[in-house]
Amino acid sequence: MKHKFFFQAAVLLASLTLGACSSDDDNNDKTESAYTVETVTEAPTWQVDFSGNDERPDWQEPNPALYENWAIIIVQLEDALKPYVTDDDLLAFFVGGEMRGLTSPAVSQAEGAEADADRGTFLLKAYGNEADQNVVTVTLRYYCARLKQTFTRTVQMRYDMGEVYGLDDAIVPQFTLGCDKFPVAETHTLDPTDLAPIDVIPGAGDLLAAFVGDECRGVAEFNAPILLFNFLTVYGRAENERYTLKYYHAASQRVFTFTRTL
């Protein structure tokens, strides 16, 4: 999995800044607009399709008798995955390819709206033979039954026997960055001053999205009051894909499609 983090957003901002309509004075050879504009009657429902065709893994719970100690890990799913959670989902904890813990969602999704606050919470008992406070490489694997997709994240953590992780600081693995369907992820941000070429003021309800053809590969929502869009993560199927950028301006109900690509 390759991740590129452009915190200065040079690539994305350049695509917007250069996206203004060209004039004859700027370049006599440029005769067509660098973006198109469409008026819409309602906000777009752009979203990335993470669905796949993975079968539910035949993961088996580890035998506690084989391990000397354990730790409790409370894991929260990303907001993007919470709507798809069902009781058939699984979260597994691996060390060196060996399963050390397995669990289902902590709150039954059949309990209705009152359980929404806890949707996507997993309470995992992770077993180990490592010495106290050892740093180990662990892999979390999440199977989403509704999406038929397995997500994987590998991190390093300090193993403290009997510790409960995730109480004070929420553990929210970026599982969407570990999706087999999209093995490449690039993260960008956008300052609203860089929208000057299209003469709009960003506001509540604005959206920024990346597309490959008609397929949405990433969406970010305007984040007031800090006047920034959230990081736009663009999900790719292969290296060096070309993405078209779309910006929905809620106040004017217009969608700007930039012909220049990321």
Half-sphere exposure of 157 (CA within 13 A, CB side): 24
Residue 6 has pLDDT above 70, yes or no: no
Question: What average pLDDT does the segment 80-87 reach?
Answer: 93
Residues 186-239 pLDDT 10s: 887 666 666 667 888 888 899 999 999 999 999 988 876 666 666 789 999 998
> Looking at residue 117, what is its pLDDT?
59
- Helix (H) / strand (E) containing 10: helix 10-17
CA angle centred on 135, ends 132 and 141, rounded to 5°: 110
Q: What is the pLDDT of residues 110-132, one digit of tens each?
A: 555 555 656 899 999 999 988 87
- Lookup: tokens for 201: 């003021």
Tokens of 158: 């300090």
CATH 2.60.40 domain extents, the chain: 64-173
Determine the CATH number of domain 64-173. Answer: 2.60.40
d(CA 141, CA 136): 16
Q: What is the pLDDT of residue 222?
A: 84
DSSP string, 19-82: TSPP-TTT-TT--S-SEEEEE-SS-----------PPPP------GGG-SEEEEEEEE--TTTG
